[in-house]
Amino acid sequence: MSAVVHAQANSALNIETPDAATLQQILVDGDLEKLSPAQRLSYYSMRATAAGLDPRSQPFQFVRLQNKLVLYATRAATQQLAGKNKISVAITGFDESGGLIEYRVRGTRPDGQFADEAGIVSFPGAKGTPDHANARLKALTKAKRRVVLAICGLEVLDESEIPDGVQSVPVDLTTATATAIPPFMTPDLWSRIKAIIKTRTIPDTEAARIFRLCTNGRTVDRTPTGTPLFSQAEHEEIVSALKSWKAPAPAAAPESPDAEPTAHEAT
C-alpha cells in the first residue's frame, strides 16, 4: 500500500499516527511502550505493509523484554516471507559440544542473493532422548527463521528467540487490519458476488458463513467508501464457494397415521 493510501485510510478511520519525535525515540531505544494503543496499531500496520505481510495472519506480536515493549516476528511472518521471496534454505553446518547445539544455514533468493545465519540452543542433557531431538529441531528452526528475516532485511526478533515463559502482549488488530489491507475489490466484482447470492437464493446466514470460511474467519469489513476489503484471491474463492452451494433438500413430510397401507404392508 502506498504511503498516500495508508495516510488516507488512517485519517478515515481516526487512527493516530506516531509523530516524528516519537518515531525517532523508538529508533533510539526501541521501546514501543511510549506509543499509545492507537499509535501501536498504526506502527504495526506500517511495519506489516512495509514488509509485504498480511496483517490478518498476525505476522507480529508485541512482547515485553527487559522492561521494553518490542515487536517480534511470528511463524506466520517467516512463512509468508519465505514463500513470497522464494527463499531456499540449506544447512551448511552443525555442531554439538559443550552443552550447546548449533545449526548453520544459508538462505538464497532466486537472484543469487544470500545470507548466512545460525541457531543455537542450550541442551546439557543426554543425547538420544525426545528432549534432545526437540532441542535439535528448535536450533534448526531458529536458524531457518533468522536467515529468512535477515535476507529480507527485517530487523526484529524471531518467535523462537523469545525466552520460555514470556507472554506476548495482546493487541487488537481489527483497526490495524482495516488500514493495512488495500481495497482490491471493485464495485463490479462485488456486484458479481451479490448477483450469485440473489440468483441462488442463498440465505444471509449461509453467505456470511462462506465469507468467514474464505477469509479465515475474518469479518468482511467495508471501507468508509463502501469498498470491500478482501483480495482478488479471496473474491475468487468466495465466488467458487457460493456457486457450489446447494440448498438443503426439504425434509420429507411425516407419513400420516391414517394413510392407506401399501400392497406390501397389507400382506
Helix axes 204-214, 232-244, angle to 10 degrees: 140
| Residue 221: per-residue pLDDT | 57
The alpha helices in 30-86, defined as continuous H runs, are 37-50, 75-84
Q: How would you classify the pairing of strands 68-73 and 60-65?
A: antiparallel
| Residue 20: per-residue pLDDT | 66
| Residue 116: per-residue pLDDT | 96
In terms of Cα–Cα distance, which of 162, 194, 205, 190 is closest to 62?
162
User: Collapsing DSSP states into helix, strand and coil, what is residue 59?
Assistant: coil
| Residue 208: per-residue pLDDT | 82
| Residue 178: per-residue pLDDT | 40
pTM score of the predicted model: 0.56
Strand order in the sheet with 88-97: 88-97, 100-108, 114-122
| Residue 4: per-residue pLDDT | 34
What is the Cα Rg of the chain in Å?
A: 26
Q: Could you read off the pLDDT of 141-167 as tens digits, one per residue?
A: 999 999 999 999 888 888 888 877 676
The kind and range of the H/E element at 73 are: strand 68-73
Grid cell for residue 68: 521494553
266: Cβ contacts below 8 Å, ≥ 6 apart: none
DSSP character for 110?
T
Residues of the chain with pLDDT under 50: 1-16, 174-183, 223-224, 259, 261-267
| Residue 93: per-residue pLDDT | 96
Q: Whose grid coordinates read 493516530?
A: 16
| Residue 33: per-residue pLDDT | 79
Q: DSSP for 116-165?
A: EEEEEEE--S-TTSHHHHHHHHHHHHHHHHHHHHHHTT--SEEGGGSPTT
| Residue 100: per-residue pLDDT | 94
Grid cell for residue 95: 555442531
